[in-house]
């Protein structure tokens, strides 16, 4: 078992305690994403426990996280009523969906990665066509209380939703029609999970029961658990007839669905269980408790398969001075004893003085930079003659404390300055008649429908970025190839040229920092 206590703990009187509120695996199980009550999202390497990316875009608690089936997109929902689509590799915001619908309570994506479903505090489910620029296609309403979980069937064109109204509704995705209703719980339903063949649904409720349902016939098959505590989360193993349930009594239980017998009980968490989920291949179990404690478990070990590997337990905590220390305990599983203990990054007086100096000077330095301008960790290391871990910790701390605005990519070690938060460019709410994100024509600035080819107002062809294929809005930050004149999102154009060494359209070999220039709109001439 690996434990990650990521960025949790008291900071100071002016700072809030940052506690993890949502977790998810990438499809290949190599990375987990963690969302926090602060609105931050962090990506971690499962094996090394290294923090890979820090994503800032939400203003309130993260309620739901998921990756697209190909792992290229991360989608997040929050109490701030926003759904943000991220580039999972670069950390860029690709799309923001928001409206008058209330807090986002659950997200789901189908197996083909073509449809997103969102559940919100107005007790509605919305379906978004990813291939049609995230266009809203259906709005489903039947529940009369908070929708706690939604999930697509792995094999059929169906969506299941669970609610505090004690019901599970089955929906036909193609037409948004209700095709089934599962009733039998005597308390609010907290979670649901499909079997990998789509034939079975398992649900957990505050009434202390876990029920198994026939998804095709919409009938209850059996009750596999009845405990004296509310069930908060359930997960069906993708390859075994095994169900995991987490509950408010701080216990995680594993059942054999054929015999209804408990296979194992986990009591390592110190607070109520918030979430349990399997990796796609079923080899790992990810658990989260209300106190923000994240644990990753080897499923074979939980099911009784012998494994005498030496495991590493890593605990990461945010200290009072916002410097991350890593304490590693290496245990010999065979003999059950501590064989090594290492504490890294304990700062001496000289390093502490340098850290204080950097925290003071760097915000002033970054304030002189232009919007979208970049600075690498190497530049900071050279300027202050410091090691990379210290420079990286300083950047993350400044971002967290909002002393600088920007995004930091741990893959490339590059900080990008944002003079305006990307989620605040259009801070006004959408009209009540639409819940789609408003797009504007690049040429005339009038609102447009992304599905159109030409703008109804000025009749110009709707401009799109050659890299991401998304609409170029009137006030988008754009980059221009100095040779062919093609325009695209500035960050996307620069990143594309960095990777390929050439313009994405004319294919001429160019330099990303000198031959992709910032587009400046000429002021309108007065008559």
Distances in Å between the alpha carbon of 136 and those of 64, 80, 132?
Answer: 19, 19, 9
Domain-embedded: residue 427: no
State whether 252 and 387 are in the same domain: no
Q: Picking from 13-17, 142-146, 180-184, 192-196, which range would have the lowest pLDDT averaged per residue?
A: 13-17
Mean pLDDT of the region 206-224: 94
Q: Which residue has the higher pLDDT, 14 or 132?
A: 132
Parent domain of 479: 438-527
Cα 369–Cα 374–Cα 380 angle in degrees, nearest 5:
90
State whether 50 and 158 are in the same domain: yes
State whether 178 and 192 are in the same domain: yes
Give the pLDDT confidence of 488-501 residue by residue, as tens digits. Answer: 888 778 877 876 77
pLDDT score of 360 more than 50: yes
Q: Picking from 61-70, 354-363, 368-377, which range would have the lowest pLDDT averaged per residue?
A: 368-377
State whether 475 and 518 are in the same domain: yes
Confidence of residue 288 (pLDDT cuts 50, 70, 90): very high
pLDDT score of 427 more than 70: no
Of the segments 272-281, 304-313, 344-353, 503-512, which one has the largest average pLDDT value?
272-281
Domain-embedded: residue 207: yes
In contact, 466 and 486? CB cutoff 8 Å: yes
Domain-embedded: residue 424: no
For the record, the structure tokens of 181 come out as 């209703």
The conformation of residue 114, written as its DSSP 8-state character, comes to: -
The partner residues of 83 in beta bridges, in order of sequence, read 77, 97
Mean pLDDT of the region 188-205: 96
Average pLDDT, the chain: 81
Mean pLDDT of the region 407-414: 70
State whether 212 and 175 are in the same domain: yes
Give the pLDDT confidence of 300-352 residue by residue, as tens digits. Answer: 999 986 543 333 333 333 222 333 333 333 333 333 333 343 444 445 678 88
State whether 134 and 41 are in the same domain: yes
pLDDT score of 449 more than 70: yes
Q: Which of 216, 204, 224, 207 is nearest to 274 (CA)?
A: 204
The domain boundary, picked from 406, 424, 451, lies at 406
Q: Which residue has the higher pLDDT, 139 or 464?
A: 139
Domain-embedded: residue 412: no
Which pLDDT score is estimated for 523?
A: 64
Give counts: helices (H), strands (E), the chain: 5, 39
- C-alpha dihedral sign at 462, 464, 469, 470: negative
State whether 315 and 299 are in the same domain: no
State whether 365 and 319 are in the same domain: no
State whether 280 and 215 are in the same domain: yes
Distances in Å between the alpha carbon of 93 and those of 57, 58, 90, 104, 284?
Answer: 8, 11, 9, 18, 29
Mean pLDDT of the region 119-137: 93
The number of folded domains in the chain is 4
Helices (H), 387-440: 388-400
State whether 463 and 516 are in the same domain: yes
In contact, 436 and 139? CB cutoff 8 Å: no
pTM: 0.61
Query: What is the spatial distance between Cα 140 and Cα 152, in angstroms, rounded to a whole number?
Result: 14
Strands (E), 319-446: 324-332, 337-344, 374-376, 406-409, 414-417, 439-440
């Amino acid at each position: 078992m690996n434990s990650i206590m990521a960025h949790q703990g008291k900071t100071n009187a002016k700072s809030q305690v940052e506690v993890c509120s949502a977790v998810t695996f990438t499809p290949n199980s190599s990375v987990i994403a963690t969302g926090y009550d602060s609105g931050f999202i962090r990506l971690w390497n499962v094996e090394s426990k290294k923090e890979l990316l820090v994503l800032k875009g939400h203003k309130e608690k993260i309620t739901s996280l998921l990756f697209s089936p190909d792992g290229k997109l991360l989608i997040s929902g929050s109490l701030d009523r926003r759904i943000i689509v991220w580039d999972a590799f670069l950390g860029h915001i690709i799309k923001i969906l928001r409206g008058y619908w209330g807090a986002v309570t659950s997200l789901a994506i189908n197996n083909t990665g073509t449809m997103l479903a969102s559940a919100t505090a107005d007790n509605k489910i919305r379906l978004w066509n990813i291939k049609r620029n995230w266009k809203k296609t259906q709005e489903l309403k039947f529940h009369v209380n908070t929708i706690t979980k939604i999930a697509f069937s792995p094999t059929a064109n169906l969506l299941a939703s669970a609610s505090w109204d004690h019901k599970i509704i089955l929906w036909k995705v193609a037409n948004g029609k209700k095709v089934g209703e599962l009733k039998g719980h005597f308390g609010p339903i907290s979670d649901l999970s499909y079997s990998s063949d789509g034939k079975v649904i398992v649900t957990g409720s505050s009434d202390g029961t876990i029920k198994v349902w026939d998804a095709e016939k919409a009938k209850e098959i059996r009750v596999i658990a009845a405990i004296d505590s509310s069930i908060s989360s359930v997960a069906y193993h993708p390859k075994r007839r095994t169900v995991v349930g987490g509950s408010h009594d701080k216990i995680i239980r594993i059942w054999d669905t054929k015999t209804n017998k408990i296979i194992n009980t986990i009591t390592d968490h110190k607070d109520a269980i918030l979430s349990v989920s399997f990796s796609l291949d079923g080899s790992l179990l990810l658990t989260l408790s209300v106190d923000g404690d994240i644990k990753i478990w080897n499923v074979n070990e939980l099911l009784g398969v012998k494994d005498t590997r030496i495991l590493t337990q890593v605990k990461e905590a945010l200290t009072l001075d916002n410097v991350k220390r890593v304490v590693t305990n290496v245990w010999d599983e065979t003999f059950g004893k501590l064989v090594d203990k290492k504490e890294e990054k304990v700062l001496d007086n000289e390093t502490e003085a340098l850290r204080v100096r950097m925290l003071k000077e760097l915000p002033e330095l970054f304030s002189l930079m232009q919007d979208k301008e970049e600075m690498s960790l190497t530049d900071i290391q050279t300027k202050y003659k410091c090691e990379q871990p210290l420079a990286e910790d300083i950047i993350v701390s400044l971002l967290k404390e909002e002393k600088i605005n920007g995004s930091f990519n741990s893959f490339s070690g590059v900080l990008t300055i944002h003079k305006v938060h990307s989620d605040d460019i259009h801070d006004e709410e959408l009209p009540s008649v639409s819940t789609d994100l408003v797009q504007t024509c690049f040429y005339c600035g009038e609102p447009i429908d992304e599905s159109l080819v030409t703008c109804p107002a000025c009749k110009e062809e709707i401009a799109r970025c050659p890299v991401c294929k998304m609409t170029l809005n009137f006030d988008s930050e754009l980059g221009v190839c100095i040779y062919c004149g093609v325009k695209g999102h500035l960050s996307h154009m620069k990143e594309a040229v960095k990777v390929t060494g050439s313009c994405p359209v004319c294919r001429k070999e160019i330099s990303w920092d000198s031959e992709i220039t910032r587009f400046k709109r000429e002021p309108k001439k007065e008559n």
